[in-house]
């Protein structure tokens, strides 16, 4: 009678199986560790703050400078009576909202590098106006005219024959003529109407140097240029015929 002998598992086979199981567990643990590092890196990137966006406007309305020769003696005043009187500002005017190109109807701040490519404008990445330049120009012009003693009316409040001021902006921006020097420049066209009849039209241009070669310097320079243009427009309107 034959006896069948069944072979027992060898020690080497058991060791190989154990090694495979350990390798699988190690790979799984390594995968979980890598996934954890990726998630942690993503959370860190999301929590790291970027540059803080900054918004600008034209700032408070500055005080108007006293007219040249305002502080004079009584003798000088008496002698001045013989000279021609200075133009008198209009009593009231309707100011229509300032108009201009589409780029001025957004809050983006633009600049040009004249020394590199004068035909291309660039927006600041983290700096904007707090409202559109057209709105800022309208509000500043109305405030400056009212500050001069002229009553500012809206189109719906005006009576027939009231003078109407319309301003169209051709250019408004910060211009760099070098990497360290820039200026705020504004070109516009002003028209005065009475009873739907054009009384006069004139183009104005102002450039004001920026105190710093950045968005803050450009905002201040453009505010200064706007105030100067408002004074130019006031002087021009005062010299127009009353009727």
Q: What is the pLDDT of residues 214-235, one digit of tens each?
A: 999 999 999 999 999 999 999 9
pLDDT at 113: 97
Question: To which H or E segment does residue 44 belong?
Answer: helix 11-47
pLDDT at 204: 98
Distances from the Cα of 50 to the Cα of 45, 53, 67, 82, angstroms: 10, 9, 48, 66
Strand partners, 41: none
Tokens of 62: 């500055």
Task: Report how far residue 44's alpha carbon sits from residue 47's, in angstroms, rounded to the nearest whole number.
Answer: 5
DSSP category for residue 100: -
Closest CA to 220 of 94, 59, 79, 71: 59
Closest CA to 96 of 205, 231, 188, 174: 188
Q: Is residue 53 packed enough to be buried (19+ CB in 10 Å), middle (13-18) or exposed (0-12)?
A: exposed
Task: Tell whether pTM > 0.85.
Answer: no
Task: Report how far residue 237's alpha carbon sits from residue 87's, in angstroms, rounded to the nearest whole number.
Answer: 9
Closest CA to 184 of 211, 145, 202: 211
Express each pLDDT in 5-17 by its tens digit. 555 555 555 545 5
| Residue 97 φ then ψ, to 5° | -55, 135
| Residue 65 φ then ψ, to 5° | -70, 145
Question: To which H or E segment does residue 192 belong?
Answer: strand 181-194
Express each pLDDT in 71-91 by its tens digit. 433 333 444 444 445 567 788
Express each pLDDT in 20-71 by its tens digit. 555 555 555 655 655 555 544 454 445 556 788 899 999 999 987 654 443 4
Task: Report how far residue 17's alpha carbon sits from residue 217's, in angstroms, rounded to the nearest whole number.
Answer: 74
pLDDT at 202: 98
């Amino acid at each position: 009678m034959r006896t069948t002998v069944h072979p027992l598992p060898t020690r080497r086979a058991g060791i190989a199986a154990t090694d495979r199981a350990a390798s699988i567990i190690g790979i799984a643990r390594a995968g979980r560790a890598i996934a954890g590092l990726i998630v942690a890196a993503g959370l860190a990137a999301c929590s790291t703050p970027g540059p803080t966006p900054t918004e600008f406007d034209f700032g408070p309305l500055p005080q108007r400078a006293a007219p040249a020769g305002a502080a004079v003696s009584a003798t000088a005043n008496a002698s001045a009576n013989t000279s021609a009187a200075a133009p008198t500002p209009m009593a009231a005017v309707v100011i229509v909202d300032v108009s201009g190109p589409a780029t001025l109807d957004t809050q983006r701040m633009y600049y040009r590098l004249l020394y590199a490519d004068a035909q291309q404008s660039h927006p600041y990445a983290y700096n904007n106006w707090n409202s559109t330049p057209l709105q800022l120009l309208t509000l500043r012009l109305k405030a400056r005219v009212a500050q001069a003693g002229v009553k500012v009316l809206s189109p719906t409040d005006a009576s027939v024959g009231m003078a109407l001021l319309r301003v169209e902006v051709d250019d408004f921006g910060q211009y760099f003529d070098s990497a360290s020097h820039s200026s705020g420049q504004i070109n516009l066209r002003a028209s005065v109407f009475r009873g739907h009849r054009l009384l006069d039209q004139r183009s104005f241009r102002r450039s004001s140097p920026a105190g710093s070669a950045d968005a803050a310097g450009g905002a201040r320079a453009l505010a200064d240029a706007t105030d100067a243009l408002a004074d130019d427009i006031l002087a021009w309107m005062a010299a127009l015929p009353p009727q």
